[in-house]
Amino acid sequence: MAGQAAAADNAARIARHVVDNEKGRAERELVPPAQTQQDAETAMRQPEAPTTGLSVSAPSPEPQKPAPEAAEPKRDAQKSGLKANAPAAKDLAVPPLVLSADMARKIGQKIWLNETGGNRNAITSWNANEEFASLGIGHFIWFPLNKWLPFEESFPSLLEFMRKNNAHLPSWLDQPQIPANPWTSKAEFMKDFNSPRMRELRQFLLDNVALQTQFLVERAQGAMQKILKNTPDNAEREHIVTQFARVVRASDDVYPLIDYINFKGEGTNPKETAVDKQTGQRQGWGLKQVLLKMNGTTADPKAVRAEFTDAVRFILQQRVRNIPTNRVFEIGWLRRADTYRRPVGELEPSPKRLRRESSRAMALQ
């Protein structure tokens, strides 16, 4: 347990960097080319900035003003329709996500199956029509030097996390600042696929599946703080934390939460939305939207997992309606969602793979 606590403390320094970049979450999927070109933003690879520790409770509100102005927040709440008796953000304790090393390995194997079908070579990949490598069980993105792209670069953060948790990085990666991707194109990457350094990288990732899972756990924990920061309505924040806590209690392996955040993100980026053709409102598809869809109160684990799965299916099908070009992925998405109904130990070892899309980057709407 002491080792896990130390890992969590070290991991906290990395988690906020992972969460605050848009798309750790970002996923690449089909959207009309005109939409992608019109709205895509660019971001250049930046050196990682030092961060402070990550709290497991929701972010604190603004400091209270002196007594003469103390009534003003109440007036603001009444104007916006917030519940006057809704708890402050500091009172919304988000339950911590903790996994044993053995459970982390099992979940990591399942996420690897979801992403790659369990192909050993696919743990180092470069997808067609993309400008970066996708590595590890979660297909973490790694940019070539000076590449301008609108996605989160998560592989350097993963390596920093692993190094801080005593993993021995390959010597060519173990530098004070994690280097840029040495391959500039898919062609170069594939030409070097069986080189000594590529084989070393694959073996390193295969040997550290559990640690990659713990990285995803830290991201999931930090994702809740980001969701709460981006939810101004106190009543909605309370609802989100309540439903999140139900899923945590119902899933000893917390696999549904870890996988869905890696799969579709937090649901806080306005760019990761699509317009509903009937209402004209923009709708997202991340964890926030799934938790808001849930309304149950039962503590029965099987019922809670089923409710979470049904909410995921609803949100994904809503996205397909709003973005018809995503329909080619619908069956695979729903099959992946159905794995949330049962504990990881009860799932079949290798799901039938349908049409695959990368879930580590999003073509922005």
* pLDDT on residue 83: 39
Q: What's the pLDDT band for 349 if we cut at 50, 70, 90?
A: low
Residue 47 neighbours by CB under 8 Å, 6+ apart: 177
30: pLDDT strictly greater than 90: no
Q: pLDDT (tens digit, 9 = 90+) per residue, 279-293?
A: 899 999 999 999 999
CB atoms under 10 Å from CB of 214, counted, come to 26
pLDDT tens column, 231-269: 999 999 999 999 999 999 998 889 999 999 988 989 998
Confidence (pTM):
0.67
Tens-digit pLDDT profile for residues 68-116: 333 333 333 333 333 334 444 445 788 888 888 888 888 988 888 888 7
Q: Place 18 in a pLDDT band, splitting at 50, 70 and 90.
A: very low
Residues in the chain: 365
For the chain, what is the mean pLDDT? 76
DSSP string, 117-177: TT-GGGGEE--TT-SSEEETTTTEEEPBTT-EESS---HHHHHHHHHHTT----TTT-SSS
